[in-house]
Amino acid sequence: MCKSLYLLVAVVGLSFGGVIALAQEVAQTPPMGWNSWNYFAARVDDAGVRAAADQMIATGMKDAGYIYVNIDDTWQGKRDESGVLHANEKFPDMKALADYVHSKGLKLGIYSGPGAQTCAKYEGSLGHEEQDAKMYAEWGIDYLKYDLCSFRQTMDQQAPNDRPAQMKMMHDAYDKMGKALKATGRPIVYSFCQYGWDAVWEWAPSLGGNLWRTTGDIRPAWDSVYSILSEQEGLESYAGPGHWNDPDMLEVGNGRLNIRENRSHFSMWAMLAAPLLAGNDLPNMKPEIKEILTSKDVIAIDQDKLGKQGRRVYSEGEVDVWERDLAGGAKAIAVLNAGSDRYSTHPFHLSLEKLGLHGAQKGRDLWAKTDITLTDGMPIEIASHDILLVRIEKPK
């Protein structure tokens, strides 16, 4: 009797533990990979995704931790009479593409949304959630970005001028796909994309969300990167292993960002424990961009096991000082010159006191790759839109 009770407890305990283990399996650190949208947009195709996968190996990005190869919008074709969605002519065989990506030791991601149409007006998952989730699992998909898009119109039509009812519809829609993904039994990272509506960080984790966009779309320009960065303040308590704030995919190497801006963008996404999804043209990546994207020390900040998102401690003039607590009591400090020229903010004197640090701090300058000692009130020269990123192993 006693023995069978013990057995029952053990079995229940094991399966409960198993469920937890399965639910926590993905995104224990912020997902890293590449996504087609920021550079290729509607030009993405099978060959381009294979080339991206190849380049992730050739450039050392895979070794640096980038694993997901994510197809964004515009892969979808039409549904057949049974409601099965087929990829369009740009993707002749999605299962074969998944096999190819998997054969490289990488994982494949895909994109859909709860509406009838996606943002680029391709077929969405409305009314076909279970069917689509099952198909993704059959193809071997490992990651789904689920984008609100036209579901906003559905919300407007079905609950005009009734915001609470609209928000409930939105929650239910994300819940539905979350359950459908779970029912497949395949570990699939679930990425919410609804631009931060209704304080998504408060409810996404309970619906199985592993990451959620916190803002509108990023653009490859400093004003966009900096304004998204500023919008992350106050969200740090919502991030942790398995569930992350997503300030949108990286624009490193894209558009008008200069080398300092690329470096600052990447550093600050690492400080934010943000998903690192490169969005550039990998086959034509410049060496200096590769150097940023594969910086092991900076990636280690992003992927730190503690999973604690950094916070802005103080600003002075146009210089922002951020800190992030790291595993083992270490700390990362970022000093960012957001000003449009060096002189508007200089000389900048770092306050260790405001950072809660006492006396000289020995650390590592992660971009210069040199040792550095931070002292209270020390003058720091930082060019416009550049950053000093320091890791202190034993802060005092």
Residue numbers annotated as active site: 147, 217
CB of 147 to ligand GLA, least distance (A): 5
Please report whether residue 192 would count as binding ligand GLA according to CB under 6 A.
no
Residues 3-62 that bind ligand GLA (CB under 6 A): 37
Task: Compare residues 146 and 238 and give the one whose CB is closer to ligand GLA.
Answer: 146
Distance CA 36, CA 49 (A): 8
Distance CA 249, CA 70 (A): 11
Task: Compare residues 37 and 322 and give the one whose CB is closer to ligand GLA.
Answer: 37
Among 88-96, 118-126, 128-136, 386-394, which window interacts with ligand GLA (CB under 6 A)? 118-126
CB of 72 to ligand GLA, least distance (A): 5
Neighbour count for residue 287 (Cβ, 10 Å): 7
Task: Compare residues 51 and 120 and give the one whose CB is closer to ligand GLA.
Answer: 120
Task: Compare residues 73 and 320 and give the one whose CB is closer to ligand GLA.
Answer: 73
**What is the DSSP secondary-structure string of 325-336?**
E-GGG-EEEEEE
Neighbour count for residue 97 (Cβ, 10 Å): 23
Task: Compare residues 73 and 251 and give the one whose CB is closer to ligand GLA.
Answer: 73
Please report whether residue 217 would count as binding ligand GLA according to CB under 6 A.
yes
Among 45, 46, 73, 320, binds ligand GLA (CB under 6 A): 73
Strands 319-325 and 331-337, sheet pairing? antiparallel
Please report whether residue 72 would count as binding ligand GLA according to CB under 6 A.
yes
Site size for ligand GLA (CB under 6 A)? 9
157-194 in b/e form (b: 16+ CB < 10 A) is eeeeeeeeebbebbbebbbbbbebbbebebbbbbbbbb
Please report whether residue 174 would count as binding ligand GLA according to CB under 6 A.
no
Q: Of all residues in this chain, which one has the CB nearest to ligand GLA in the complex?
A: 119
Please report whether residue 246 would count as binding ligand GLA according to CB under 6 A.
no
Q: Which helix (H) or strand (E) holds 180?
A: helix 163-184
CB of 16 to ligand GLA, least distance (A): 36
Among 71, 193, 239, 273, binds ligand GLA (CB under 6 A): 193
CA-based nearest residue to 42, from 146, 141, 121: 121
Neighbour count for residue 297 (Cβ, 10 Å): 15
Among 82-90, 114-122, 183-191, 351-359, which window interacts with ligand GLA (CB under 6 A)? 114-122
Cα dihedral across residues 175, 177, 31, 256: positive or negative: negative
By the 10 Å C-beta count (0-12 exposed, 13-18 middle, 19+ buried), 320 is classed as buried
Structure token pair of residue 291: 């150097």
Backbone angles phi, psi at 42, to 5 degrees: -75, -5
Task: Compare residues 72 and 302 and give the one whose CB is closer to ligand GLA.
Answer: 72
Please report whether residue 119 would count as binding ligand GLA according to CB under 6 A.
yes
Among 57, 120, 221, 306, binds ligand GLA (CB under 6 A): 120
- Contact set with ligand GLA (CB under 6 A): 37, 72-73, 118-120, 147, 193, 217
